Copies of this chain bind each other. A is one copy, B any other.
């Protein structure tokens, strides 16, 4: 059967509608201009209003549009900062218009040990692949990164040449898809060896980032510890008041 189901594949009607709306948003419409009403979209796309609402709600949640009851849905101002998104270094740099790269990549397979084991919920004796990379943007050192991945979920990773996006490799080769990450960001200063690796003066300010990444099943996939030079990196994002929860 060419068409297994009643809905037209290609990601479903919601996804098609979303694509169309995205086209409107950063194509024809300018910030604060009004999108078609839900009812109009529903009719012209031959879908239910609920489907339209889901697409618009999602865009609203992502900060692309804002919605006001009684008034309409409007295009948000161009995002000077992205909302907090889970991205790899590679994606992150590309989004900033820089060319990502790596220096001095080292890979080894080692026992997790106490700390890494705890982070990944492994026995200290279980093995992990340890990647050490100096990551670059437009050729300049940007970040020093230690990544640990349980050997049992990515066998043979340590023997593999890692180039480009680790996340892409994990997805394509091991079908491990990161869906969620806990991240902890600290401010620190660079001690001499790290400063040298990053090519900045000693005791320059820096971010230290620890991250535990999970897949959709809450299985821990990765623990990463990174140090970013602060002169070329900042965290820019949009935050929303989450839920009209209980008290203020």
For the complex, is A186 an interface residue (Cβ under 8 Å from B)? yes
Number of interface residues of A (CB under 8 A): 54
Q: Is the CB of B243 within 8 A of A171?
A: no
For the complex, is A30 an interface residue (Cβ under 8 Å from B)? no
Tell me which residues across on chain B come within 8 A of A182, comparing CB atoms: 80-81, 236-238
CB distance from A101 to the nearest CB of B (A): 18
A234 vs B207: C-alpha distance in the bound complex, in angstroms?
A: 10
For the complex, is A205 an interface residue (Cβ under 8 Å from B)? yes
Tell me which residues across on chain B come within 8 A of A248, comparing CB atoms: 91, 165, 167-168, 171
Which of A60-68, A125-133, A138-146, A154-162 contacts its partner?
A: A60-68
Q: Is the CB of A238 within 8 A of B180?
A: yes
A63 vs B86: C-alpha distance in the bound complex, in angstroms?
A: 14
A217 vs B80: C-alpha distance in the bound complex, in angstroms?
A: 18
Q: A81-B182, A205-B187, A248-B168 in contact; A66/B218 too (CB < 8 A)?
A: yes
Q: Is the CB of A85 within 8 A of B236?
A: no
For A192-226 the 0/1 string (1 means CB < 8 A from B) is 00000000000101110000000011100000000
Q: Is the CB of A184 within 8 A of B235?
A: yes
Residue in A68, A178, A235 whose Cβ sees the most chain B Cβ within 10 Å: A235
Which of A78-94 touch B at CB < 8 Å?
Answer: 80-81, 83-86, 91
By a beta-carbon cutoff of 8 Å, the part of chain A in contact with chain B is 32, 50, 58, 62-63, 66, 68, 74, 76-77, 80-81, 83-86, 91, 165, 167-168, 171, 177-189, 203, 205-207, 216-218, 228, 230, 234-243, 248
Question: A-B pairs with the 9 shortest C-beta distances?
Answer: A187-B230, A185-B235, A187-B187, A187-B205, A86-B239, A86-B241, A184-B236, A186-B234, A187-B207
